[in-house]
Amino acid sequence: MASDFYGEILAPSGAYKYFINGDWKESASGKSVAIVNPSTRQTAYNVQACTQAEVNEMFEISRSSQKQWAQTPLWKRAELLKKAATLLREHALPIASCLVTEIAKPSRDSMTEVIRSADLLDYTAEEGVRVLGQGKILNSDSFPGNGRNKLCLVSKVALGVVLAIPPFNYPVNLAVSKIGPALMAGNVVVLKPPTQGVVAGLHMAQCFHKAGFPKGVLNVITGKGSEIGDFLTTHPSVNCISFTGGDTGISISKKAGMVPLQMELGGKDVCIVCEDANLDLAAKHIVKGGFSYSGQRCTAVKLVLVHDKVADELVSKIVPQVQKLSVGMPENDCDITPVISETSANFIQGLVLDAKEKGAKFLTEFKREGNLLWPTLLDHVTPAMRLAWEEPFGPVLPIVRVQTVEQAIEHCNKNNIALQGCVFTQDINRAIMISDAMETGTVQINAAPARGPDHFPFQGFRDSGIGSQGITNSLEMMVKTKSTVINLEAESYAMG
Ligand SMILES: NC(=O)C1=CN([C@@H]2O[C@H](COP(=O)(O)OP(=O)(O)OC[C@H]3O[C@@H](n4cnc5c(N)ncnc54)[C@H](OP(=O)(O)O)[C@@H]3O)[C@@H](O)[C@H]2O)C=CC1
Ligand SMILES: O=C(O)[C@H](O)COP(=O)(O)O
């Protein structure tokens, strides 16, 4: 894996180093965290188990380097982001290989994640120059009782130190979706990669390092979230937290101080299929949306709510497509690969067994070998079953039959998880009315839920998140507004 480009990130001990102030270092703890390959259930890598003292040192360095970084011209920041994007593309293969090993992401999807991340950085560089390069001027006489003797210059200034915490399922793309906008806005970043995906994250960080970012602008701490996470998120030097993951985000939001939060949490994305839907289109999107990356996407289709009139026909189109999905190892680009951990596999199995006990009809059998779960399609799922409400984050898709669309909308809005949803109908007026009624951050019309393309606003309602992602919204969220008021001796009117 190590090459001249990546050679320095690996310690002689065989554990990957952490990255601080432009240097790759071993932790004084002398301890490491084992990264288990979900496919083999064997240890594949080791990384540093960093100490609280190293966290403190990292934040101290971040605070001091931010002052210098904020004085870097926008065009220079953009140039560096574009250089990092170029290096990500040039050195993508080792990063993609880490994704296959650490998170069992199919090879093709792993490479796609890295290239998508480079594209995100390029777009962030261009959008950042535009968005951050403009401010506003306000004239006092627009408010009753005032003459034009005050000019207010409104500018966007950096927050300071952004703590970025991405999840296991996109350890590169959901890292750069935080890092790019943060750096472009003049902040510095402390990145805490997910344990599963951390080595991909370290390789990604090397691309930023080699791109020429000044020391201390991007720092990467490694260690289990359960061990150093709370110390990180409650650290007094944190000026913003950008987090993607599960319910952990909810507890972080209760512990964090007076700092802006950008949270993208779980999804229970419903797919409403109306009686007038194009069922071939719906079936194709349901299968791809439900089973890509073995359902381990917050935007995966997690519940089909189909009008009873067309349910049998829809099921007849879905089943053969599910049966055709290849099941096996990520190295072989199988459609369904092992889920991230035994804990996750056990959780998913628990939901399936609950549905079975409560009378769900199995359209494909549930089969498991270690962390590898065969795609499971359940029909006649009822609201009494946990699967109608909870997020499996696995290759399991429940189908609920409804008598009216209103029933489907009611089910969707009853769930506290409210990220995305989708609706299939051939009547655009009806589609807009249903979309407006669905209380989720995004509604896809005649397609499966998705975060991409990455410049689209992406947000969760209720327990699915705080704030909004998407490149422009992330840029706007990672600055604060500053007013500078010029007080003139006398009123002055242009052309007056
Ligand atoms: N919205 C989304 O895109 C995603 C949602 N999920 C949901 O979350 C569930 C669990 O997945 P998982 O990846 O374990 O999600 P977690 O929320 O546990 O982890 C997400 C990130 O948070 C870190 N973390 C864990 N504990 C803390 C803490 N106390 N303070 C700060 N950071 C912490 C993790 O680090 P570490 O890995 O070291 O624990 C990881 O980097 C999934 O089943 C799914 O329902 C998961 C992934 C993506
Ligand atoms: O958090 C997630 O799982 C991702 O945001 C989903 O992204 P995608 O829709 O591009 O797979």
Q: Which residue, by CA, sits nearest to atom 5 of ligand 2?
A: 451
Residue 327, Cβ density class (10 Å: 0-12 exposed, 13-18 middle, ≥19 buried): middle
Residue 496 pLDDT = 74
Q: What are the average pLDDT values for consecutive 10-residue runs of the chain, which has 496 residues? A: 83 97 98 98 98 98 97 98 98 98 98 98 98 97 98 98 98 98 98 98 98 98 98 98 97 96 97 98 98 98 98 98 98 98 98 98 98 98 98 98 98 97 98 98 98 97 97 98 98 90
Residue 194, Cβ density class (10 Å: 0-12 exposed, 13-18 middle, ≥19 buried): buried
Q: Would the CB of 453 count as within 6 Å of ligand 2? A: no
Report how far residue 432's alpha carbon sits from residue 164's, in angstroms, rounded to the nearest whole number.
35
Residue 470 pLDDT = 97
Q: Would the CB of 391 count as within 6 Å of ligand 1? A: yes
Cα-to-centroid distance, 42 and ligand 1 (Å): 21
Distance of CA 463 to the CA centre of its chain: 15
Domain parsing of the chain, residue ranges:
2-265+464-481, 270-445
pTM, to two decimals: 0.97
The predicted complex's ipTM stands at: 0.95
Residue 270 near residue 408 (C-beta atoms within 8 A): yes
Q: Would the CB of 223 count as within 6 Å of ligand 1? A: no
- Edge to edge, the sheet with strand 218-220 lists 23-25, 18-20, 218-220, 188-191, 161-165, 240-244, 261-264, 465-466
The amino acid occupying position 126 is: E
Q: Which residue has the tokens 């998407």?
A: 470
Residue 3 pLDDT = 60
- Cα 231-236-242 angle, rounded to 5 deg: 70
One fold for both 2-265+464-481 and 270-445?
A: no
**Domain 2-265+464-481 coded CATH 3.40.605.10:** yes
**Domain 270-445 coded CATH 3.30.1490.20:** no
Annotated catalytic residue 264: yes
Dihedral of the CA atoms 198, 200, 204, 205 (nearest 10)?
30
The amino acid occupying position 189 is: V
Residue of 54, 264, 390, 391 with catalytic role: 264
Report how far residue 448's alpha carbon sits from residue 467's, in angstroms, rounded to the nearest whole number.
22
